[in-house]
Amino acid sequence: MYSSKKQRPVFVYSVTIYDKLIKFPCFSYIFYDINPPEGFNLRRDVYMRYAIWLHKLQTNKNDSNLKKFKLVLPPWSHLYHWKYSEIPEHIPWALYFDIESLKRFAPVIEMYQFFDDYDVTYKKIEIDDVYILQHYQDMFETGKFEEKMSIEDCNEPIRVNYFYYNNITSNNVRCLSFHGYTSQLTSVLKNSTARSFLFDHAEVALHDMFGDKLYWKCRRSMRFNKELHEIAKKFREQELDANDKNDMTILPDDWRKEIPRRNAIGGSYLGIHLRRADFVRSRSKEIPTIENAFKQIKNKLEELKLDKVFVATDAPINEINEMRSLLEPKYALVTYKSEDWVKEKYKDGGIAIIEQIICSYARYFIGTYESTYSFRIQEEREILGFPAESTFNRLCYDGTESCSKPSIWKIVY
Ligand SMILES: C[C@@H]1O[C@H](OP(=O)(O)OP(=O)(O)OC[C@H]2O[C@@H](n3cnc4c(=O)[nH]c(N)nc43)[C@H](O)[C@@H]2O)[C@@H](O)[C@H](O)[C@@H]1O
């Protein structure tokens, strides 16, 4: 794990990484950052675009004239949906993900490990080349989308510091209007002698290929931190009477050993992701009221002959109680209540992941329309080998099941 001491570099004076990153002269570093309001699960998708790019750079023999790159994982700081007890907080990826598993796909390092790579006698880190990606305004106006990139005037004011560290900065910041796939950014690397690059607004670059074999390899490498899995497993066993052996949900320790299958059964409970919070305001016409959600849950429990529903939700307690009073006593509504140490150690992000895991292992899953939190559960269930019909379902806004189904993105090996 990480030590808080390692979170903030202490340096004495300023040099560029190109000049002084002396510990590992054969490496160059790629940083990326994302539009601040974006939530955790969209960020996971953006990570994949860059991990796939780095994977390709690492394996593509035609680009052997390029240096070796490391992808620096941006700490989880100031996420809009999370409450932080201490500000600024730089949460490393190891708190949520199995880093060794990520490394089996792409050459990633944590930010604090980058600080270790850096010569710590220097006060300030200056990233050699910063590119702020931005959309071509005219493409949205004309609807004519073509792949291109060009350095242009910036659409937004330029930031002075990066990643909420006031000693990470750059003297060379440019705005790159961009429409294309992430690996097309290779041309930026080829035309530069820099040893450190930051792509801000990284979400502007698209997936090279959404849903192909490489996409799924990368996705499979994104295993959660083992302890989070253990916590969810214990909860499933104790509160939902579910276990991997009976539910046919055992995966090999190494994602590279996974094989195609569709025989997962899942625990004898219905899994629901009921997204509320900001969605109640921003998507009121697309998500159900509590009563409408109840109708769909009850119908599905009847149809599947189940008597338990696990609800992952960011709803306030009064809404959960309302749902509970509608379902009980005939059906049990189970939610995850974290122990104090879990909340303290893993914070809001970890609790959300534990709930996602529990939904992933359910007999049947129903998510919330266009929530990336639900999308990630659907992917996890594809990896676990559930029949697609038990996964790609959404709560309809009107209490019926008649609304359109979510897009089905089946796993490819
Ligand atoms: C419209 C967009 O929707 C996006 O949200 P959407 O895709 O649902 O997906 P997320 O970005 O993951 O949701 C935002 C955060 O809300 C919390 N959250 C959501 N659902 C649950 C849940 O069931 N249980 C728990 N414990 N926490 C939950 C969690 O911290 C998660 O990272 C937003 O990130 C964007 O900023 C934007 O608002």
Question: CB neighbours of 400 closer than 8 A, spacing ≥ 6?
Answer: 295, 296
- Report the separation in Å between the CA atom of 349 and the middle of ligand 1, taken as the mean of its atom positions: 10
Which of ligand 1's atoms lies nearest the C-alpha of 354? 26
Residue carrying the six token digits 């276990």: 243
The pLDDT, as a whole number, for residue 280 is 94
Active site amino acids: 38
CA–CA distance, 251 with 398 (Å, rounded to integer): 37
Cβ atoms of residues 277 and 314 within 8 Å: yes
Question: CB neighbours of 182 closer than 8 A, spacing ≥ 6?
Answer: 49, 50, 52, 53, 205, 206, 207, 208
Cβ atoms of residues 29 and 197 within 8 Å: yes
Residue of minimum CA distance from atom 15 in ligand 1? 81
- Report the separation in Å between the CA atom of 62 and the middle of ligand 1, taken as the mean of its atom positions: 40
Residue of minimum CA distance from atom 33 in ligand 1? 39
Average confidence score pLDDT of the chain: 91
Q: CA torsion angle for 104, 371, 207, 182 (degrees, to 10)?
A: -90
pLDDT, tens digit, for every residue of 343-389?
999 999 999 999 999 999 999 999 999 999 999 999 999 999 999 99
CA–CA distance, 169 with 163 (Å, rounded to integer): 9
Number of H helices and E strands in the chain, helices first, is: 14, 14
The pLDDT, as a whole number, for residue 2 is 34
Residues with C-beta less than 6 Å from any ligand 1 atom: 37-42, 80-82, 273, 275, 278, 282, 312-314, 348, 351-352, 355, 371-373
ipTM over 0.90: yes
pLDDT, tens digit, for every residue of 67-85?
789 999 999 998 988 887 6
The pLDDT, as a whole number, for residue 119 is 67
Q: Extract the tokens encoding 207.
A: 């997936």
- Report the separation in Å between the CA atom of 337 and the middle of ligand 1, taken as the mean of its atom positions: 18
Cβ atoms of residues 222 and 101 within 8 Å: yes
Among candidates 395, 360, 358, which has minimal Cα distance to 377?
360
- In order of 65, 296, 355, 402, the CA distances from 300 in angstroms are 57, 6, 20, 13
Burial status of residue 107 (CB atoms within 10 A of its CB: 0-12, 13-18, 19 or more): middle
Residue of minimum CA distance from atom 16 in ligand 1? 81
Which of ligand 1's atoms lies nearest the C-alpha of 376? 12
| Single-letter amino acid code for the residue at 219 | R
Mean pLDDT by 10 residues, the chain (413 residues): 39 48 75 96 98 94 74 94 75 97 98 81 83 91 88 93 92 96 95 92 98 98 98 98 97 98 98 96 93 97 98 97 97 97 94 98 97 98 98 95 93 98
In this prediction the pTM is 0.93
Q: Report strand pairing: 308-313 vs 129-134.
A: unpaired
The pLDDT, as a whole number, for residue 225 is 98
Q: Up-side HSE of residue 409: CA atoms within 13 Å toward CB?
A: 18
Q: What angle do CA 273, 355, 395 make, to 5 degrees?
A: 5
Best probe residue, ligand 1, of 46, 273, 275 (max atoms within 8 Å of C-beta): 275
